[in-house]
């Protein structure tokens, strides 16, 4: 299934963030919350089982100056193989002049899934972006399929973070220099002007990026532990 | 080719011997204790951090813009401890290179350059530069393992010789890699926070 969706949020004359364009297509359904306020809330709903092998999903999000958007998932995403054996892909593109919080629910990479996920974000001088991702390597007792998840964030064209996370290669997943055998990986990218001191514990840390912003990373055995670490930051 | 051999030689006075590439922290936590666990560590390191560094060495050797490469490598190195380790080794290598191979191209490097860029500029050939960089990504941690864990140098050498260094170097030349290693990032930062005696700078 190929699908593309587009979401545009702008600030109106009353200081409310309003959804100006909302175009979605099965299986990528965007559901705006019925509320008026400084932050628009939109849920990203997968209206049929997706992504399946062969799917190509694309979402473009534009947030204008002064506007603020919370884009949330509603349920965990289960990446599954399709009947064709083809890989699946997703591309989410943010163009931010205001502020965005993108908080999808955890993604489970089931065995035999083969997915490529890309998130690209371009921010202007004062734009803010919070992006959280939690990946689970397989359902309980299952080994992970193949996933490549890439995030590239730029501010005025200058790169802030460009990172590809690859799971599904057993020799790297189990390596102390790869994923150290942990089943859950959580990251929270915070591109804003809030200063945060470096901090960390055995399997998590919070680090300042070279060109501004902060990245939190946590590895763990289960979603609850990893989510708790990210929530505490 | 000779330049690549000199840079990869542990005798080269670039200061690389004080870096363990996360191995000291992994050993302190008991994640690497013997030859099988060292093999797993080196394999993971080569295919993540090694591939990334090799890709940037190849790009620098191809003559790509060094300032841009420097920014792109920073964006691919979220851990400040790893950025500093890369730049410290870049500075050390550059200091030795100015005496050994004076060239105007050296002054086109940023003031405190990432090591893969220095390797790329010095070696000149993209594949050889990538190979040197990929090899250095595992040879330093391997000799650190011999010193820290008292492993058999013959066994460790056999592990290094069997690693797919050439394959990684060949892949590295295709496009700028961006592969991260969350565990290496965590180990690098934890190493900086660790109190007490540390033998290595990273």
pLDDT for B178-188, tens place per residue? 999 999 999 99
A69: left (phi over 0), alpha (psi -120 to 50) or beta: beta
Boundaries of every domain in chain B:
23-191
The CATH topology of domain B23-191 is: Urease accessory protein UreF (1.10.4190)
Residue A47 — very low, low, confident or very high, per pLDDT cuts 50/70/90?
A: low
The token pair that represents B45 in the structure block: 């390191």
Q: Check pLDDT > 80 for residue A143.
A: yes
Lowest mean pLDDT of A42-46, B26-30, B176-180, name the range.
Answer: A42-46
pLDDT tens-digit series, residues B121-172: 999 999 999 999 999 999 999 999 999 999 999 999 999 999 999 999 999 9
Q: What is the pLDDT of residue B179?
A: 94
Q: Tell me how close the Cα of A170 comes to any Cα of chain B, in angstroms.
A: 10
DSSP character at residue B78: -
pLDDT tens-digit series, residues A209-230: 999 999 999 999 999 999 999 9
ipTM of the complex, rounded to two decimals: 0.94
Q: What is the pLDDT of residue A67?
A: 98
Interatomic CA distance for residues A87 and A209, integer angstroms = 32
* Any A CB within 8 A of B49 CB: yes
**Structural domain containing residue A15:** 2-232
Contact A200 B40 (CB under 8 A): no
Q: Check pLDDT > 80 for residue A49.
A: no
3-class secondary structure, A230: helix
Residue A92 — very low, low, confident or very high, per pLDDT cuts 50/70/90?
A: very high
Residue B99 — very low, low, confident or very high, per pLDDT cuts 50/70/90?
A: very high
Phi, psi (deg, nearest 5) at residue A146: -100, 125
Say if CB B97 and CB B11 are below 8 A apart: no
Interatomic CA distance for residues A139 and A142, integer angstroms = 5
Q: What is the pLDDT of residue A209?
A: 97
pLDDT tens-digit series, residues A157-176: 999 999 999 999 999 999 99
Q: Domain tally for chain A?
A: 1
B28-to-A73, A132, A219, B32, B194 alpha-carbon distances in Å: 40, 31, 18, 8, 10
Please, which residues have CB within 8 angstroms of residue A157's CB and are 6 or more apart in sequence? A122
Q: Which residue has the higher pLDDT, A74 or B75?
A: B75
Contacts of A169 in chain B (CB under 8 A): 47
Interatomic CA distance for residues B108 and A112, integer angstroms = 47
Residues of A with CB under 8 A from a CB of B: 150, 152, 158-166, 169, 171-172, 174-180, 182, 185, 187, 198, 200, 202-205, 207-211, 215, 217, 219
DSSP character at residue B66: H
């Amino acid at each position: 299934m190929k699908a593309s969706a587009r979401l545009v949020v702008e600030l109106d004359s009353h200081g409310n963030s309003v959804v100006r364009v909302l175009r979605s297509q099965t299986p990528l359904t965007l559901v705006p919350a019925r509320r008026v306020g400084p932050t628009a809330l939109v849920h990203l709903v997968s209206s049929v089982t997706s992504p399946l092998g062969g799917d190509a999903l694309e979402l473009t999000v534009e947030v204008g100056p002064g506007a603020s958007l919370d884009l949330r998932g509603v349920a965990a995403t289960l990446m599954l193989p399709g009947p064709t054996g083809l890989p699946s892909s997703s591309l989410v593109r943010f163009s931010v002049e205001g502020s965005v919080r993108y908080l999808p629910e955890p993604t489970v990479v089931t065995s035999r899934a083969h997915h490529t996920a890309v998130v690209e974000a371009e921010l202007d001088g004062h734009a803010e972006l919070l992006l959280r991702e939690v990946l689970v390597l397989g359902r309980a007792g299952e080994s992970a399929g193949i996933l490549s998840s890439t995030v590239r964030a730029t501010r005025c064209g200058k790169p802030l973070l460009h990172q590809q996370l690859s799971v599904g290669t057993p020799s790297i997943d189990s390596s102390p220099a790869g994923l150290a055998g942990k089943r859950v990986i959580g990251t929270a990218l915070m591109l804003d002007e809030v200063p945060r001191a470096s901090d960390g514990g055995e399997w998590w840390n919070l680090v300042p990026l070279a060109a501004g912003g902060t990245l939190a990373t946590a590895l763990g055995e289960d979603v609850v532990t990893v989510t708790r670490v990210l929530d505490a930051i | 080719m000779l330049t690549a051999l000199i840079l990869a030689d542990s005798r080269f006075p670039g200061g690389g011997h004080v870096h363990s590439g996360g191995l000291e922290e992994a050993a302190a936590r008991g994640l690497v204790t013997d030859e099988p666990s060292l093999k797993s560590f080196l394999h993971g390191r080569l295919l993540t951090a090694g591939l990334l560094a090799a890709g940037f060495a190849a790009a620098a050797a191809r003559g790509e813009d060094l300032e841009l490469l420097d920014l792109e490598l920073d964006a691919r190195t979220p851990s400040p401890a790893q950025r500093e380790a890369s730049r410290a080794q870049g500075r050390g290598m550059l200091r030795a290179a100015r005496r050994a191979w004076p060239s105007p191209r050296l002054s086109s490097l940023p003031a405190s350059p990432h090591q893969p860029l220095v390797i790329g500029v010095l070696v000149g050939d993209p594949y050889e530069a990538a190979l040197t960089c990929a090899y250095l990504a595992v040879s330093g941690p391997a000799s650190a393992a011999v010193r820290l864990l008292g492993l058999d140098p013959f066994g460790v050498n056999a592990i290094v010789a069997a690693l797919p260094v050439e394959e990684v170097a060949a892949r590295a030349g295709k496009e700028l890699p961006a592969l991260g290693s969350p565990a290496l990032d965590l180990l690098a930062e934890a190493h900086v926070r660790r109190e007490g005696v540390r033998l290595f700078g990273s």
